[in-house]
């Protein structure tokens, strides 16, 4: 279950680029209660959207930060790679998210035009400059 609009936007962005490979609110570590905002379990990539930065929200108060650090460290020890963005970064620069995912999956840089996240089993390719990604720059 997607908690908020930012997580919904992240999920849509990732699944438009790489259909069917991302799970929202994924519980990726056995024995832990926390969940990743969006994750690719096969590649062990987790993406978090941390809002409330300008309003002294959960992610920048001491107890919330400490809980985030525990989560991120446990995930790293378990072999997860975590990308963290603010809602503004997600909305204004969705290419940052796709570019980082591409690099984690083996693309050498943004000049490499395509990347097959699923090992090319289904030929799922995406171009970073794909005009369909423009809708994410300003919400829906």
Residue boundaries of the structural domains of the chain = 5-136
**Both structure tokens of 64:** 């919330």
Fold of 5-136: Endonuclease; Chain A (3.40.960)
Backbone dihedral region for residue 132 (phi beyond 0: left; psi -120 to 50: alpha; all else: beta): alpha
pLDDT for res 125: 43
Query: Residue 11: is its pLDDT beyond 70?
Result: yes
pLDDT category of residue 44 using cuts at 50, 70 and 90:
very high
Q: Are 112 and 105 in contact (CB under 8 A)?
A: no
- Looking at every residue in the chain, the average pLDDT score rounds to 77
Q: Residue 135's Cα: distance from chain center in Å?
A: 17
pLDDT category of residue 138 using cuts at 50, 70 and 90:
very low
């Amino acid at each position: 279950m997607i908690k908020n609009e930012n997580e919904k936007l992240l999920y849509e962005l990732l699944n438009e680029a790489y259909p069917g490979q991302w799970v929202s609110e994924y519980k990726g570590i056995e024995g832990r209660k926390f969940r990743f905002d969006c994750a690719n379990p096969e590649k062990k990539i987790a993406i978090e959207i941390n809002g409330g930065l300008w309003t002294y929200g959960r992610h920048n108060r001491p107890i919330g930060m400490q809980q985030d650090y525990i989560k991120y460290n446990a995930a790293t020890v378990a072999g997860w790679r975590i990308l963290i963005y603010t809602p503004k970064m997600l909305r204004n620069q969705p290419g940052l998210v796709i570019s980082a995912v591409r690099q984690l999956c083996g693309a050498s840089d943004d000049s490499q035009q395509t990347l097959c996240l699923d090992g090319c089993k289904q030929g799922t390719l995406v171009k970073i400059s794909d005009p369909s990604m423009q809708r994410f720059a300003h919400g829906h």
